[in-house]
Structures are given as structure tokens and as C-alpha cells.
Structure 1
Amino acid sequence: MNSDAPLTEDGLRHGAEALATMDPDLAQLLARFGVPPMWPREPGFATLVQIILEQQVSLKAAKTMFERLEQALRGVTPASVLGAGEDGLKTQGLTRQKARYCYELAHRVAEGELPLDRLHQWSEPEGRKALLAVPGLGPWSVDVYYLMALRRPDIWPQGDLALAVALQEVKGLEAPPTRDQQKRLSDPWSPWRAVAARLLWVHYLAARGDYAGSGR
């Protein structure tokens, strides 16, 4: 499996079946829920803004905030964010910090410092370096972008709280695993760690009555 090639629906199914042969706990998830959703996102600026909004809040709250921002700006683009300015972003419910992050991201994309339209052509180390240089884009945000927007098959989102809880429940652990413990648990699932993450997200949502088999 080419770890730089985007995950397809066939690849998602193949990966889930391969994981089921590697790990009996994942096999149970696959038997219970079937192949997990792709949960794709469109690569580009708007998705990165939404990922910034998702930091440290619920996905539902972040989605509401993004939709309000999208309506107010008539589209979330570098130009519309720069036009609103940090103060304008804060009037739509963004914290001071997240307004600054979104504005700085818009500035770098508009000035050509971060060519998002070419990111998929770069090696993963190059792309990660460019994204991590943007204030507000840490390892988790970059991992989620690579997993959902660029659909890389072997990404494990560092520090994802839902995955930590899901691992605790599925593996019968006494506490949510630390980042290092998550790495040790997920490394054997390579080259399908992004598929494993999707299976575990399904478990997390279903256990809380939030899984309808589609959007996350």
C-alpha cells in the first residue's frame, strides 16, 4: 500500500478487512458496524479553518460556528477572512486566539506562503512542515487534515480525545491511553492506521448514541 496515495472506498474496505485479521477487537467493531464511513473533507482553506474551530470543543459546536461564519462571510475563503479581520471573526463567536489563527492562515495562503492546492504533491514531511509552521496548526490538526482531506491511509491523529476514550473502552484499559501508549497500540495497525481510527470513531459515536452511519 502506497502511504501517499489517497484512500478510496475500495481501499477503506480492504483496510478494514486487513485490520480484522490483525486485531480481534477491531474485528468485532467491523462485524458490528461494517466498513466505517470515509468522512471525506474537501482539501483546502475552508477545511483547515473548520479543523481550527474543532480544537478543544465538540464537533457539533464547531460545525455550528463554522456554518455561522460561512453564512456571515458568504463563504470561508482567504479573502473573506482577511476582509472580516480578527475583530470581525470574533463577532461570529470565535475566540480571540482562534480568530488570530484563522486570520494568520488566510494571510499565508493569500500571500502564497502556503500553497494548499499543491500540498498533495509534496512529500508528507514537506507538507507537515509547511502546515505546522502556521500558528494554531499543531500535530492533531495536521493529522486530521491528512487523514480526512488528503485521505492518507496510515495516519493516526495524535492526541485525539475521542480515540483515546474509544481505545480505553475497546481494549478494556483502566484509563484513556496517553499519546505514547496510543502510538504503541496503533503502530501494529500500519499501513491502515487511518482506517483503524475511523472504526474507533464509529464505536465512540455509537456508544454515545451519536452514530447514524454517515457524517461525523
Structure 2
Amino acid sequence: MRILSDHDVSLGLSALTERDPRLIPILAATGPVPLRRSEPGFSGLAAIIVSQMISKASAAAIWNRLVLRLGTVEAQAFLSLGEEECRAVGLSGAKIRALRAAASAVEAGSLDLDGLCSVDPQVAIATLGALPGIGRWTAEVYLVFCAGYPDIFPVGDVALQSAVADALCLDTRPSARVLEGLSLAWSPWRSIAARLFWAFYAQRMRRDAAPVLAGPDAAKPARNQLK
């Protein structure tokens, strides 16, 4: 299945809390968990690339300026921008190169971002990771929020590492490798577990650290609840 609705999130949360009772008080403390979905395509991937390695507030500001400049952030439209125009909205040289590489691949037909929704997740991650400037975090976040894969946990995300350490009362923040092992307890619903821990982090820290996403649905409030 794919995670496409608040109902899917509710199903996942029910399965997770039954599978791992440690998550019950975490969900109770967090409240509704947002779906945070973007449609698959260049705009969704571009917003995630913009979010790489900077704060959510900075990423949101850059993304909003890019949307204001282009209207709809599509591959052909982005390729029409010059270097100075890209830098004027706040994009770094590395992100300009990554966005241009992705946009060029989409326009050339060598990157099918919709098609990635229906292939093996490791194949999808490898396909995205072959593009310049796109690492595992970017690929996994695309699969979680745009492709709707149910069993992806972006273990390299620092906010998720901190949230898991806090929620499970760990002595130290887990490394990506350690978190990979911990996340196996939440399979096959790890994408829902990631949403839960991002929401928990936002609740505890009063700061949303989930990636900036494209489209109006990305900002909708959560409506799910544990039945």
C-alpha cells in the first residue's frame, strides 16, 4: 500500500502501537500526526532538495521565494532561471547544481519521478542517489512524503535521531546505524513512525523540523487519531 491519506496514517499508528506499546504514551503526548504529503514530481523533489542541511525556517523562506518567482516549480520552468536568479532566491551553488541535474533528467525523460512510486524502494533510492547532490536523506524523504512508501525511516535525519533518543529515554542520540536497527521494530510502518517522531519533536521542542514540502496539502493540520 501507499500512504496517501490521514486514514492511512491512522491505520499505521494503530498497527504501530499494537506492535510496540512504547509508542502509546509518545502518541498520547504528541496528539494528531500530520500526513504531510506532496504529489510526486519535480516540485516535490525540489522542495526537499531546498531543505537539505538548513533550518526549516530558512528552507521555507527560500522555497516561498522560488514559488513566487516561478508560480509552479516545474523542471522546465526551473531550467529557465539563470545563475543570478537562482542565487537571488537564496539557493546555494550546490543546490542549484542538484536542482538543475534533477530538472534536466526529468526533461530528458531519464528520471521518472512518478514511476518511482511503484518500484522497489531500494531501486528508487539508488535511482535518486545517482543524481548529483542527492543523497540518501533526500531520496528517503521523497519516498516517504511524495511516493507514499510505508516502510522508510530516514535514519540520517538529526531531528529524528533526537526525537527517538528523547522519546525512548536513550542515554545518547543514536547514530544512523543504531537508529536503523531500532527502526526495524516499527516495520512495515516505519514511514508512519517517522511522522510520529517528527511530530513528537515539534511538540517537545516547539519547533517543526520536518522537511519543507511542496503543495497545499503539505501544510494541512493532522486529523487522525488513535481509535
- Does TM, normalized by the shorter one, top 0.5? yes
2:57 maps to which residue? 60
Q: Does 1:91 align with 2:98?
A: no
1:148 maps to which residue? 145
Aligned pair in 2 of structure 1 residues 23, 213: CA closer, same or farther (>3 Å)? farther
Q: CA deviation at 1:129?
A: 2.3
TM-score, with structure 2 as normaliser: 0.86
Equivalent in 31, 39, 59 of residue 42 of structure 1? 39
Q: Report the residue type matching 1:100 in the other structure.
A: R
Q: Report the residue type matching 2:221 in the other structure.
A: S
Secondary structure at 2:150's aligned position in 1? coil
Equivalent in 19, 22, 30 of residue 27 of structure 2? 30
Q: Report the residue type matching 2:146 in the other structure.
A: A
Q: Which whole-Å deviations, capped at 9, do the CAs of 1:114-145 have from their partners, x for residues lacking one? A: 02232223332332222111111111111111
Secondary structure at 2:82's aligned position in 1? helix
Measure, in 2, the Cα distance between the counterparts of 1:77 and 1:167: 35
After the TM superposition, which of the residue ranges 192-201 and 67-76 deviates more from structure 2?
A: 67-76
Q: Which whole-Å deviations, capped at 9, do the CAs of 1:158-195 have from their partners, x for residues lacking one? A: 30111000011111122210011101111011011111
How many residues in Structure 1 have an aligned counterpart in Structure 2? 212
TM-score, with structure 1 as normaliser: 0.90
Q: Does 1:193 align with 2:153?
A: no
Give the aligned CA root-mean-square deviation in angstroms.
2.0
Measure, in 2, the Cα distance between the counterparts of 1:117 and 1:14: 24
Identical positions, percent: 34
2:100 maps to which residue? 103
Q: CA deviation at 1:210?
A: 3.7
1:120 maps to which residue? 117
1:18 maps to which residue? 15
Q: CA deviation at 1:67?
A: 0.9
After the TM superposition, which of the residue ranges 146-155 and 8-17 deviates more from structure 2?
A: 8-17
Q: CA deviation at 1:68?
A: 0.1
On the 8 A contact 2:30/2:203 being kept in 1, the answer is no
Measure, in 2, the Cα distance between the counterparts of 1:24 and 1:126: 32
Secondary structure at 2:142's aligned position in 1? helix
Q: Which whole-Å deviations, capped at 9, do the CAs of 1:60-118 have from their partners, x for residues lacking one? A: 21111011011112321111111113342112211111111111111111111102232
Structure number with the higher helix fraction is 1
On the 8 A contact 2:161/2:179 being kept in 1, the answer is yes
Gaps of 5+ in 2: 209-218, 223-227
Aligned pair in 2 of structure 1 residues 171, 105: CA closer, same or farther (>3 Å)? same
Gaps of 5+ in 1: none
Q: CA deviation at 1:7?
A: 4.6
